[in-house]
Amino acid sequence: MKGNPTATVMILVETGSKYETDKEMGLSHFLEHMCFKGTAKRPRAMDISRELDGLGAQSNAFTSHEYTGYYAKGEARHFGKLFDVISDVYLHSTFPEAEIQKEKGVIVEEINMYEDMPHRHVHDLFASLLYGDQPAGRNIAGTRESVRSFTRGDFVKYHGKHYVPGATLVVVAGGVDAKKVSAEVSRVFGKLASTKKTGKKKVMDVQKTPAVRIKEKKTDQTHLVLGFRTFPVTDEKRNPSLAVLGTVLAGGMSSRLFQKLREEMGVCYYVRAGNDPYTDHGYFEVSVGCDTKRVKEVISVILAECARLKTELVSRDELAKVKEYMVGNMLLELESSDAYANFYGGQAVLRRPLRTPREAEKRVRTVTAEDIQKVAKQVFKPTTLNLALIGPYTKADEKVFAKLLRV
């Protein structure tokens, strides 16, 4: 990104909630919070915040199922200081006991907040339906009980076990000289002792019949996720086809489900669809918040559109429109240095072949209508079909909804 006045320093580590044991549930996420609470060089959270604010910088962190990230971005001329802060946070956090106790309350309230947001929480419910009591089926934040149980020793042990050179990736994007970046990375990370990386358990991904899970909640709207088991991120042929298929269904205001559910029927505000592949499993999902009185109609429409993709080829004009939408949105999302860092870092940390945006575009443009129909036939079938709902229903209603699941 030559000429970019900003720079992003991002450090990714190949660990997340899927790497946790039963007793560590939520620890990856909690540790991410704690890394900004003090280091040997910057003992207090305020020391870190004040320094970054003084640079006019932005910083944040995130935890996913398979990796965790820390980043700061600011003017490119401040690269050295940005790198020093983020590498210090990543390598030398001290996990102060008093801060751990305070942050327990913060994370419990974070869990409460998301559980009060049914449009978000329904995705956690869907994951638990697919994977049960496996790490892939658990909330990344853990439970209130697990969060309250952690001790400082748990953080130190987990950090030492997972935050190792073999699992660490440093990404820098923006107006910074590559030689300068390489020198800084070598200086800070080059002398670290090589420690064996800790792996994760393989996901058990088995299903024989359609499945339904309901969480009863008094809401004015039903939030649901209807989805199918798919393929891991290593499936280089079918995942691009599924990405295009998802955009046909619910990518943009001219998409099939948006037009049918919102514009024609007036039963929802949002509808989304997409494929979510991981290293050893994947799923395709359609999510919608809709009129509770018409939820069965909505489910029937979604299933009908999925079935249609198995029997009818997407037209040339529709496919061309969808591809332009996908490519245009990808490029618009890459207008900042942090987006570029995440684009390349997300590929590298999952050990995928590195593709430029133009190479990613080519993958989209080479998908044919026949590819979409073929993958629809492989994915849209009863033995991979699942439905999660949050709304004014009881567990007894699961049998009622199960009867609708035919595709």
Q: Give catalytic residues, as residue numbers.
A: 32
CA distances from 63 to 19, 23, 33, 289, 346 (A): 12, 18, 9, 26, 12
CA distances from 194 to 15, 48, 87, 167, 186 (A): 17, 28, 17, 10, 14
Q: Map 134-193 to HEC letters.
A: CHHHCCCCCCHHHHHHCCHHHHHHHHHHHCCHHHEEEEEEECCCHHHHHHHHHHHHCCCC
Tokens representing 390 are 């949050």
Q: With beta carbons less than 8 A apart as the criterion, state whether 11 and 75 touch.
A: no
Q: What is the Cα–Cα distance from 398 to 404, expressed in whole angstroms?
A: 10
The 10 Å CB-count burial string (b at 16+, else e) for 186-210 is: eebeeeeeeeebeebeebebeeeeb
Q: Which residue has the tokens 């509808």?
A: 271
Helix or strand (DSSP H, E) at 254 = none
Q: What is the Cα–Cα distance from 247 to 292, expressed in whole angstroms?
A: 25
CA distances from 312 to 287, 318, 320 (A): 23, 13, 16
- Give me the sheet containing 385-391, strands edge to edge: 211-216, 385-391, 221-229, 282-291, 268-277
Contacts of 86 by beta carbon, 8 Å cutoff, 6+ apart: 9, 10, 11, 59, 70, 71, 72
Paired with 300 in beta bridges are none
Paired with 213 in beta bridges are 388
End-to-end C-alpha distance for the chain, whole angstroms: 46
